[in-house]
Structure 1
Amino acid sequence: MKLFQCTNCKSTVVFENNTCLNCGFKLGYSSYYNKIVSLDPSAATWQVKELDGKTYEYCDNYKHTVCNWLVDVSRDRKFCLACTLNRTIPHLLDDDNLKKWKHIEVAKHRLVYQLLRFRLPVVSKTIDDDKGFCFDFLEKDELPEESKGLKTGHVNGVITLMIAEADPVVREQVKQQMAERYRTLLGHFRHEVGHYYWDLLIRNNPEVLADFRSIFGDESQSYADALTTHYNNGPKANWQQSFISKYASSHPWEDWAETWSHYLHLTDVLETAYNFGLKSNPKIIAKNSLKMNAAFDPYTVTDFSRIMETGIPLLFTLNSMNRSLGEDDPYPFIISKPVEKKLEFIHKLLKGI
């Protein structure tokens, strides 16, 4: 992600900050200008010169301390773009629910930031029920009896997340039960929104659909039967050679969503490295070069080989740094050549190549 500064005192601030700890000014994020600006703490609305002098106020969810995005007063709406995507939120009289919702919103706002950087359409179902998407953040007792086992998923533009997933203890338990190597809220959102964008970008585009099938396989095979087989018999043999994860081997739709989420992971990590000016020159000579210079904005690069030549050493470096602290690898995956080809398909689709 981009690095941000307080426009009042130039201190470094992070994406979620609503107050500058150095000067005490309030902070607000503009999704249109991709800027964080400082705001007079004594006011409720602000005419912001860095945002073309327009007048702004906080998104209505600021009052719950889950959002620091700004809303143009002239547009006469209560919620920012990210928060308009919420169809169902947890019951907030429960303090534990509010705590979980804050974690969920951090991940969701970061997702929306990235979708906007890709210049993808971000439209709420409240505005366009047919083409938009939305989020339902639910407690278990809010589900109908036949859906009690649901944890997260996507159906017709509705992304559902059980708020228990915001509890790191619960998430780790599920991770162990599912024999997964990686499970995060942001990872959930990237995966599930991938299903939505498959519908939007591929389903009704015959040429792109044909290319998709040549790389990922025929998605018209029974999805229900494929998942039943996967859960009863486990992943396909030697799945590591062709898929980014075990679950990706279950069906072409899941292969797409898993690969899509990994492309978003990779792009976000590269943007962060670019903003920090990261580069490496290892003290050994390796068969596969571990040199890396993240001297480019990945959202503007069309050459996919540059993404991979920088991303693989960067991920290796991140894993090595985590191990130095006794932590697990943040990216415990191997990108095989078939997976690389799938990532390149997504790259070209998003770049319009």
Structure 2
Amino acid sequence: MKIFQCSNCNNPIYFENTSCEKCGNSLGYLNESEEMLSFNKEKKPHLNDTGLTYCANFNNDACNWLVGIDSESVYCEACATNHMIPNISIPENKLDWQKIEAAKRRLFYSLHKLNLPTQFVIEGEPLKLTFDFLAPLANDPDAVKTGHSNGLITLNIQEANAAHREYIKEQLQERYRTLLGHFRHEVGHFYWDVLIKPNEEILKEFRTLFGDDTQDYGEALQKHYKNGAPSNWREHYISSYATMHAWEDWAETWSHYMHMMDMLETSYNFGLEIDPELKKVSSLDVSCDFDPYDGAKMDKIIKHYLPLTYVLNSLNRSMGHADAYPFILSEPVIQKLTFIHKVVNRKN
């Protein structure tokens, strides 16, 4: 992600900020231009002659994006994709939903950088990315399952609760589980439907790398949870869950592609250079001096990403945390990432 400054006082700010801690101005993000704009806190944005106002979810402390005052929707492009949200009159639901919306805006930032639209027409039928954020039922807490179906992504809002998420992570023996990770994984299923499935040539190449997508998904799911992943899964897959079905291998790898692009863009904007005090390990000496979204080749991206994960994990360990990126990029995984990179850029 880019890094931002208050346009009034140049104070460094975060993507999620709604006000500047230095000058006190209100802040709003304009996705079209990838800018964080600053406004007098006593005035609404459109009163500053910008023709802009806040997304309607700003009033729920759930969005800091800007929309045109003449826009057809009172919601920004990220919030406009919501089909259902939980009952936010319940304080716990509202807090969870606010966290979910914050993660979703980061997803939409990346989709914008990748030039990926969220509405398509496939074989004459419209397909639109939409979201249901649902609270579990008191008498059936397992009724709400996170997943994707025909463009609709459903997310159990309990995933916004760190304690619940950590519990599920331990139950499933996962090494990584975040809200943003959920979004990136599930949106991968959506883009399989629009980028892979309709194109016979691309689908054939997909099957060579990821396997047979026509395999019965329900049977594959049962088999995975009964037998687990093969012992050598790290040689061919980014995660154990990716071994379950070709669709999940794609979605897991897609999410890591988005992780990779976002972290490298952040490193580029910070001017990060890695020059460790290690003897005879020149492969770790890199300068993140390029924007990965600007036509970079995958071999260059991988060359810079691997040292970055080593630094990131080392910093986390210095703070007593687990590795932020506890994954291995084997050669087959790199081939899959390269395929995704090609498909995305082919679309553009």
Relative to the length of structure 1, the TM-score reads 0.94
* Structure 1 segment 1-353 matched on structure 2, within 5 A: 1-46=1-46, 54-123=50-119, 130-141=126-137, 148-286=142-280, 289-352=283-346
Once the two structures are overlaid, the 10-residue window that deviates more, 38-47 or 197-206, is: 38-47
Once the two structures are overlaid, the 10-residue window that deviates more, 250-259 or 128-137, is: 128-137
**How far apart are 1:286 and its partner, in Å?**
4.5
Q: What is the alpha-carbon root mean square deviation over aligned residues?
A: 2.0
AA aligned to 2:105 is: H
Q: In percent, how many aligned pairs have the same letter?
A: 46
Structure 2: distance between partners of 1:25 and 1:65: 16
**How far apart are 1:44 and its partner, in Å?**
2.2
**How far apart are 1:236 and its partner, in Å?**
2.2
Structure 2: distance between partners of 1:276 and 1:287: 23
AA aligned to 1:119 is: N
AA aligned to 1:285 is: K
AA aligned to 2:174 is: E
AA aligned to 1:155 is: S
Structure 2: distance between partners of 1:235 and 1:67: 39
Contact conserved, 1:84 with 1:124, CA < 8 A, in 2?
no
Structure 1: distance between partners of 2:280 and 2:57: 50
**How far apart are 1:131 and its partner, in Å?**
1.2
**How far apart are 1:302 and its partner, in Å?**
3.0
**How far apart are 1:269 and its partner, in Å?**
0.6
Report the secondary structure of 1:75's partner residue.
coil
Contact conserved, 1:28 with 1:37, CA < 8 A, in 2?
yes
Contact conserved, 1:267 with 1:298, CA < 8 A, in 2?
yes
Once the two structures are overlaid, the 10-residue window that deviates more, 128-137 or 204-213, is: 128-137
Structure 1: distance between partners of 2:41 and 2:276: 47
Structure 2: distance between partners of 1:16 and 1:191: 22
Contact conserved, 1:133 with 1:159, CA < 8 A, in 2?
yes
Relative to the length of structure 2, the TM-score reads 0.95
Structure 2: distance between partners of 1:295 and 1:271: 9
Unaligned segments of structure 1, at least 5 residues: none
Structure 1: distance between partners of 2:214 and 2:95: 41
Structure 2: distance between partners of 1:72 and 1:234: 50
AA aligned to 1:277 is: G
AA aligned to 1:240 is: R
**How far apart are 1:350 and its partner, in Å?**
1.2
Report the secondary structure of 1:352's partner residue.
helix
Structure 1: distance between partners of 2:86 and 2:125: 22
Structure 1: distance between partners of 2:14 and 2:120: 26
**How far apart are 1:288 and its partner, in Å?**
6.7
Structure 1: distance between partners of 2:332 and 2:283: 20
Structure 1: distance between partners of 2:109 and 2:162: 23
Residues 111-145 of structure 1: CA deviation (Å, up to 9, x unaligned): 000001000002399xx9831011111011199x7
Number of residues of Structure 1 aligned to a counterpart in Structure 2:
345
**How far apart are 1:93 and its partner, in Å?**
1.0
AA aligned to 1:190 is: R
Contact conserved, 1:302 with 1:351, CA < 8 A, in 2?
no
AA aligned to 1:90 is: P
**How far apart are 1:282 and its partner, in Å?**
1.1
Unaligned segments of structure 2, at least 5 residues: none
Structure 1: distance between partners of 2:185 and 2:7: 34
AA aligned to 1:186 is: L
Report the secondary structure of 1:186's partner residue.
helix
Contact conserved, 2:185 with 2:251, CA < 8 A, in 1?
yes
AA aligned to 2:22 is: N
Contact conserved, 1:44 with 1:57, CA < 8 A, in 2?
yes
Residues 184-223 of structure 1: CA deviation (Å, up to 9, x unaligned): 0000000000000000111011111111111111111111
Runs of 4+ in 1 over 6 A off after TM superposition: none
Structure 1: distance between partners of 2:336 and 2:120: 28
